[in-house]
Structure 1
Amino acid sequence: MAVRRVVPHVRSEAPEENREFYGLLGFVEVMNHGWIMTLASPSSPTAQIGFMTEDRTAPVAPDLSVEVDDVDAAYAAVRESGAEIVHPLQDEEWGVRRFFVRDPDGRVVNVLGHR
């Protein structure tokens, strides 16, 4: 299984202001669902940061996302390890398959793959 990208998520009630601020550093908006917005570097597209007010389809907002090439294999490995699954594996309407797991320090990790 390969990691494709890692995106930290910042909880924010001011996504527009953050878009303007991080735009000063060269980031541009690449996704905006209203409740989550992702900014990326045009020259290095996997350098990203997310701003979210909530997670619309999960019980908690994740602290970061890890995109992998095989989310089903990642889910199986995490379940076998006994780690706490916070949100079960499911397909989302915006084209990703994902689950949430809690890391040893209590952070919630959104593990996803694009369909």
Structure 2
Amino acid sequence: MTVRRVVPNIQSEAVQESREFYGLLGFEEVMNHGWIVTLASPSNPAGQVSLVTGDRTAPVTPDMSVEVDDVDTAYAVMRDSGAEIVHPLQDEEWGVRRFLVRDPNGRVVNVLGHR
């Protein structure tokens, strides 16, 4: 299993202001689903930050997202380790397969793969 990218998810009620703030650092909007906006560096597209008002299908808003090349294997590894699965593995309508898991620090990690 390979990690493709890691994105911090910032829970925000000030998405527009945050978009402008991170724009000052050179980030540009690359995805906007209304409840989540992802900004990326044009020169390094894997350099990203997401602004989240609340997760659309999960019971909690994740603190970070980790994209992997094999989300099914990642799910099996986490489940078998006894880690707390906060949101089960499922295909989402916006084109990802994902699950949410809680790390030992209490942070919720969105583990995903693109379909």
Same fold (TM over 0.5): yes
TM class by shorter-chain length? over 0.9
- Distance in 2 of aligned mates of 1:96 and 1:24: 29
Q: 1:20: which partner in 2?
A: 20
Aligned counterparts of 1:10 and 1:37: Cα–Cα separation in 2:
10
Corresponding residue pairs, total: 115
TM-score where L is the length of structure 2: 0.99
State the 4+ residue runs in structure 1 displaced beyond 4 angstroms: none
Residue 38 of structure 1: how far off its partner (Å) = 0.4
1:20-39 mapped onto 2 (5 Å cutoff)? 20-39=20-39
Q: 2: CA distance between counterparts of 1:68 and 1:19?
A: 26
State the AA in 1 paired with 2:69.
D
Matching residue's letter, 2:49: I
State the distance in 1 between where 2:101 and 2:11 align.
18
| Structure 2 unmatched ranges of 5 or more | none
2:100 corresponds to which letter in structure 1?
F
Deviations 1:74-97 (A, max 9, x none): 000001100000000000000000
**Distance in 1 between the 2:19 and 2:61 partners?**
19
**C-alpha distance in structure 2 between counterparts of 1:18 and 1:31, whole Å:** 14
1:40 and 2:19 correspond: no
Distance 2:7 2:41 in 1: 12
Displacement of 1:69: 0.1
User: Unmatched 5+ residue regions in structure 1?
Assistant: none
Give % identity: 78
| TM-score normalized with structure 1 length | 0.99
What SS does structure 2 have at the residue aligned with 1:58? coil
Aligned alpha-carbon RMSD (Å) = 0.4
Give the alignment of 1:1-115 within 5 angstroms.
1-115=1-115
